[in-house]
A and B are shown apart, each in its own frame.
Chain A
Amino acid sequence: MLSENEIKIIDFLKKKDNKSAYSTELSSIIPETAVFSLAYLLKDKGYVNVKEEEKEDIILTKEGEERLKEGLPEDNLMNFLKGESKKIQEIAKSFKDFNIALSWAKKKGLVKVDKGEIIPLKSSYISPEYIVLKKISSSQDLSEEDKKYLKELENRGLIEIKKNKVLLLTLLKEPEIRPAITYLTPELLRNKEWTKYELKEYNVEALPPFIPLGKKHYFKEFLEHVKDVMVSLGFKEVKSDFVEMEFYNFDMLFQAQDHPAREIHDSFKVDGKGELSNQSLVKRVKEVHEKWWKYNWNQEVAKSLVLRSQTTATTARVLSTSPNKEIKVFTIGKVFRPDAIDATHLIEFHQLDGLVIEENFNFRELLSTLRAIFSGIGIKEVKFKPAYFPFTEPSVEVYGYIQGLGWVEMAGAGLLRPEVTEPAGVTMPAGAWGLGLDRLAMLFLGIKDIRDLYSDDIEYLRNRKVEY
């Protein structure tokens, strides 16, 4: 495979009689800087023989150029005399470079001087040096005879002789060649020119340069997958806001106002108070709290703002609309809890909460629903443990079996207490559950440090294998 330039060189050599050419000659067709490397490339490929030579380069000096134009002084003197003797004094006045001319004319035996006169010995004269000078300037080959004058021309400062390394390329074989190109172009295809060319080969085994790829976030995809599971089980999605009143985060869930979870260390407080517009709901919530927990329920506490600490607040919001038909809803969203931040703890994480209100819903149905949800997420084996939550009775914790880890606690669930549903005007049984998704995602995504779910290192995101 030969490049365009390599082919040019071979073509050049082909046209020469002796199939040889100096690198200097080639510089007329190829950038001089490229000639040397191309020559050796061709040699390696066996197309040419390359001989390194020292070559003399003769160039005219500035003075040499001038003399070429004006003639050598001694020649000019002889032409001036035209075969006749003349007085020195007379000539010296009108003849340029007289002393140089006279001295060379005397040295070459062209004139003699006698009694103040110059007597020419020849009627006309053109010096062979001038002829050589002329040949050099027109790059004609010099004969051996000519070369005898070079030394003298150099001494007279008319020429400079430089020694250069040159390559003599001699064609050894003619390739059957087509020029190679890197890119096909529409033109080449359109006019069929492509047939004249070889397509250059690549190093196809080299690794490619980097390009950034658009890619979905693994944890986000996990959350979306869980949403799809819930939808496939017939649940409708709902959502509510991060800033929530304690009323929905706690009070409606039958969590007494002095419950430890409501302390300053267990939820993030936000300035301001919300508005509780449904006063009959408020009144009924107050009643159940005071009846069972035996304290004075304070509406101002209920209006305090927190960042929701459980997505069950969303469930409470749904209940507060007093749905009087059967519903099945779920929400997936962020919750916030004060905690130390380390490899297993964050202060914000995701929960899935679900709510079923159905005429014949019961604990057995709840367990079966939970089993179906976990099966959908990919946990095929679950077991149920009695548990305690203020707002459900019976309550259950769901454990899932994870290969290599054993039984892992995964969700809390239960039938909502009448103390939760009745104030909201919900008369049918209701089941609810909350499921932490971050830990589960870590198990599924093989992540050891929970902070990697929210990695701020783009190379980590780029390099992560996609789950499917």
Chain B
Amino acid sequence: MVNIVLKESRLLNLLGLEEKELNDVLFNLKSEVEKRGEDELEIEINSDRLDMLSPEGIKRAVDGILGRKLGEAKYEVVPTNYQLIIDDVESRPYALAAVVYDVKLDDDRIKELIQFQEKLHCTIGRKRKKVAIGIHDLDKIDGKVIRYSKVPLDYRFIPLNSDKEMSISAVISSTEQGKLYGNISIKDNYSPAILQEDGQVLSIPPVINSNKTKIDSSTKNLFIDVTGTNFDAVAQTLDLLVSNFAEGGSKIGTVKVSRYASSSPLLIHNKLVVKTSDINKRLGLSLSTEEIAKYVRMMRMDANINGDEVEVIVPQYRIDIMTYVDVAEDVAMAYGYKSFSLPQYTSKGIGELLPITRLERAFRDLAIGGGFQEIFTFVLNKSSYLLYNDFVKIQNPITVEYDAVRNSLIWNMLKFLAKNQHARFPIKVFEVGDVVVKSEESDTGYKNDARACLAIMNSRVSYEELQSVVHQILYNLKGKEPRYARQDKDYFIKGRSAKIMFDNNVVGEIGEISPQVLEKFNIENPVVIAEIYLEKLCE
């Protein structure tokens, strides 16, 4: 999801819509509108529809779905004498460029353009790692030959919004953009650079442009460079940019490119042949081939009918259309999700709960019968509370309070009891839930283990008081009596804890918590706890 902020009055005027109509139309184009400031709208664009990140892109899509303009938007493309020479830049090998004539830039449009550029940087550009964009005032560039090359870090230029010439290393260490993006493409003390024929820097991708070619409200023509680590992404980004300028009335100029193509932008058009039956089968509709073609055109793509097939021409700005299923979605959108008449749901097949779920439910009922209040705690816990060492530690925790995955419910229980020492006594609580333990059988090395935990905290507690409840619960679940084998564990008081067993299987443990552990959890009342391994009971 990508959010853009646009001036409301300009957008409504551009689209020729009332505010309410805008909401409805954009809803059907995967977007949501929220009013922000006095004359501002925040629009949520889905991350597949990068073509809609500018007002012109939104207009193109809206025109289609409202039936005002159908089929591909055709833009004027003229050849130019500009040339992009591409050298070996290992850290960022791909570059393409384009020229745009007759742009109209006022302050609002410059804001929109910068926003469009930034959103592309974040999405398809993967925070400029994959793709970076440089937009220049064409008329401030000297000469027609532009070079994409690499330059040493002591190479100097005046970065955007500065009046001081500095070295690339200085730009990287002292400017905001330098700090954010400086280390992405520096390799062996060289930085990628877009240069004029005379060697003057126009930009150092993916960091910053030069101040020399800064755009302002008087800018009439643009030079756009796009660099990156993935050719398709570079080509698509440039296509998206020039298309949206062209939708606003500008003219696209092609630049001769030395390496991967004869010229750019590539204005990539893909052809997809979709079968009417495939579309209908996927959507559950019975549309005619003509209807499908109509809906395709409403999504601003060209469509040619050939028998019961539709040839879809995917224009450069619809980079999200890959296969027939993407076409199917566009057809569904143009048809209208709300136009689907929905059959009454009829259940085929028998539903079923997992055995462990049924056991958990039975266990909960019995614990309730024993007078225990159910609690529900977090799976994540503080690692210093988890007293065994086989727990899963999170590499990138948000807070130390939740930096590990619980490996027993006992610690969660103690944490809960610690918080409730001033509540009305006695505290009798239980929890049913999963913990994560190491497992050699699992392909991840870990597995979930369903467990239950019961505890009593009071001014005086006894092993027997809890044991009697646990005993009845287990007896009722298994139809036979468990037995208890003395065990010594350091978190229980010596001689006051036992393993709970059926035959020779340990299905849990019970005991009075040792004073040392109570202290660790800041508990000032005695506690008796039992943990039951539900998965073992389920076997």
A residues neighboring B (CB under 8 Å): 210, 212-217, 219-220, 224, 227, 230-245, 258, 260, 264-265, 268-272, 274-277, 292, 294-295, 305, 307, 326, 328, 333-334, 336, 338-341, 347-348, 358, 362-365, 367-369, 371-372, 383-388, 393-396, 415, 417-419, 429, 453-454, 456-459, 461-462
Kindly identify which residue among A271, A365, A415 contacts B343, using a CB–CB cutoff of 8 Å. Answer: A365
Contacting pair A386 B30 (CB below 8 A) = yes
B428 at the interface (CB under 8 A from A): yes
Interface of B is mostly: loop
B218 at the interface (CB under 8 A from A): no
- Closest A residue, CB atoms, query B343: A368
Report chain A residues within 8 Å CB of B428.
212, 214
Q: Tell me the minimal C-beta distance from A418 to chain B in angstroms.
A: 6
Report chain B residues within 8 Å CB of A276.
443
Report chain B residues within 8 Å CB of A231.
351-353
Report chain A residues within 8 Å CB of B361.
224
- Closest B residue, CB atoms, query A459: B423
Contacting pair B27 A214 (CB below 8 A) = no
Contacting pair B351 A235 (CB below 8 A) = yes
Report chain A residues within 8 Å CB of B333.
386, 394
B371 at the interface (CB under 8 A from A): yes
Contacting pair A212 B424 (CB below 8 A) = yes
A256 to B212, CA, bound (A): 38
Known contacts A214-B428, A385-B30; A458 and B373 CB within 8 A of each other: yes
Known contacts A268-B397, A271-B395, A364-B283; A461 and B375 CB within 8 A of each other: yes
Report chain A residues within 8 Å CB of B371.
212-214
Report chain B residues within 8 Å CB of A237.
352-354, 357
Contacting pair B419 A384 (CB below 8 A) = no
Q: Tell me the minimal C-beta distance from B151 to chain A in angstroms.
A: 27
Kindly identify which residue among B283, B370, B402 contacts A214, using a CB–CB cutoff of 8 Å. Answer: B370
Known contacts A214-B428, A272-B444, A294-B232; can you find 16 more A-B pairs with CB under 8 A? A210-B424, A212-B427, A232-B347, A236-B349, A236-B352, A237-B352, A242-B379, A305-B445, A305-B446, A362-B283, A363-B282, A364-B283, A368-B342, A454-B377, A458-B416, A461-B374
- Which of B43-51, B70-78, B80-88, B182-190 participates in binding chain A? B43-51
Report chain B residues within 8 Å CB of A347.
380, 398, 402
A138 to B350, CA, bound (A): 97
Report chain A residues within 8 Å CB of B392.
243, 270, 307
8 closest A-B pairs by beta carbon, nearest first, are: A364-B284, A362-B284, A231-B351, A372-B345, A394-B329, A234-B347, A388-B46, A243-B446
Q: Max chain B CB contacts within 10 Å: which of A238, A348, A385, A396? A: A385
Q: Tell me the minimal C-beta distance from B383 to chain A in angstroms.
A: 13
Contacting pair A234 B443 (CB below 8 A) = no
Kindly identify which residue among A210, A242, A348, A462 contacts B436, using a CB–CB cutoff of 8 Å. Answer: A242
Chain B residue total in the interface (Cβ 8 A): 94
Q: Tell me the minimal C-beta distance from B87 to chain A in angstroms.
A: 23
Interface string of B441-480 (1 = CB under 8 A from A): 0111111100000000000000000000000000000000
- Which of B134-142, B319-327, B496-504 participates in binding chain A? B319-327
B28 at the interface (CB under 8 A from A): yes
Q: Tell me the minimal C-beta distance from A31 to chain B in angstroms.
A: 32
Report chain B residues within 8 Å CB of A227.
353, 357
Contacting pair A393 B328 (CB below 8 A) = yes
Report chain B residues within 8 Å CB of A217.
374-376
Contacting pair A364 B405 (CB below 8 A) = no
A417 to B353, CA, bound (A): 28
B29 at the interface (CB under 8 A from A): yes
A217 to B374, CA, bound (A): 5
Known contacts A362-B284, A386-B333; A418 and B325 CB within 8 A of each other: yes
Contacting pair A241 B448 (CB below 8 A) = yes
Known contacts A242-B434, A386-B29; A364 and B343 CB within 8 A of each other: yes
- Closest A residue, CB atoms, query B399: A341
Q: Tell me the minimal C-beta distance from B147 to chain A in angstroms.
A: 26
Q: Tell me the minimal C-beta distance from B410 to chain A in angstroms.
A: 15
A385 to B332, CA, bound (A): 11
Report chain B residues within 8 Å CB of A338.
396, 398
A260 to B326, CA, bound (A): 21
A333 to B14, CA, bound (A): 46
Known contacts A268-B394, A348-B378, A383-B338; A238 and B448 CB within 8 A of each other: no
Contacting pair B354 A238 (CB below 8 A) = yes
Report chain A residues within 8 Å CB of B30.
385-388
B245 at the interface (CB under 8 A from A): no
Kindly identify which residue among A265, A274, A393, A396 contacts B444, using a CB–CB cutoff of 8 Å. Answer: A274
For window 122-146 of B, CB contacts with A under 8 Å fall at 123, 126, 129-130
Q: Tell me the minimal C-beta distance from B7 to chain A in angstroms.
A: 25
- Closest B residue, CB atoms, query A368: B342
A342 to B348, CA, bound (A): 42
Q: Max chain A CB contacts within 10 Å: which of B372, B378, B415? A: B378
- Closest A residue, CB atoms, query B357: A237
- Closest A residue, CB atoms, query B398: A338
Report chain B residues within 8 Å CB of A368.
342-345
A233 to B351, CA, bound (A): 7
Report chain B residues within 8 Å CB of A369.
345
Report chain B residues within 8 Å CB of A260.
123, 126
Contacting pair B396 A264 (CB below 8 A) = yes
Contacting pair A385 B337 (CB below 8 A) = yes
Q: What are 20 A-B contacts with C-beta separation under 8 Å?
A: A212-B371, A224-B361, A227-B357, A237-B353, A241-B442, A242-B405, A258-B129, A260-B123, A268-B396, A270-B392, A277-B443, A295-B230, A347-B402, A364-B340, A367-B342, A386-B30, A386-B337, A394-B283, A394-B325, A394-B328
Kindly identify which residue among A294, A307, A364, A458 contacts B394, using a CB–CB cutoff of 8 Å. Answer: A307
Report chain B residues within 8 Å CB of A328.
348-349, 351
B274 at the interface (CB under 8 A from A): no
Contacting pair A458 B399 (CB below 8 A) = no
A230 to B351, CA, bound (A): 7
Q: Tell me the minimal C-beta distance from B112 to chain A in angstroms.
A: 22
B495 at the interface (CB under 8 A from A): no
Contacting pair A245 B443 (CB below 8 A) = yes
Contacting pair A271 B393 (CB below 8 A) = yes
Report chain B residues within 8 Å CB of A233.
345, 347, 351
A454 to B377, CA, bound (A): 6
A339 to B357, CA, bound (A): 29
B534 at the interface (CB under 8 A from A): no
Interface string of B243-286 (1 = CB under 8 A from A): 00000000000000000000000000000000000000111110
Contacting pair B444 A241 (CB below 8 A) = yes
Contacting pair B377 A456 (CB below 8 A) = yes
Report chain B residues within 8 Å CB of A461.
373-375
Contacting pair A214 B368 (CB below 8 A) = yes
Report chain A residues within 8 Å CB of B28.
385-386
B240 at the interface (CB under 8 A from A): no
Contacting pair B284 A307 (CB below 8 A) = no
A18 to B399, CA, bound (A): 87
Known contacts A368-B342, A415-B325, A418-B323; A454 and B376 CB within 8 A of each other: yes
Report chain A residues within 8 Å CB of B405.
242-243, 307
- Closest B residue, CB atoms, query A291: B322
B16 at the interface (CB under 8 A from A): no
Report chain B residues within 8 Å CB of A244.
444
Contacting pair A458 B375 (CB below 8 A) = yes
A462 to B447, CA, bound (A): 33
B369 at the interface (CB under 8 A from A): yes
Q: Tell me the minimal C-beta distance from B125 to chain A in angstroms.
A: 11
Contacting pair B46 A340 (CB below 8 A) = no
B201 at the interface (CB under 8 A from A): no
B364 at the interface (CB under 8 A from A): yes
Report chain B residues within 8 Å CB of A242.
379, 405, 434, 436, 446, 448
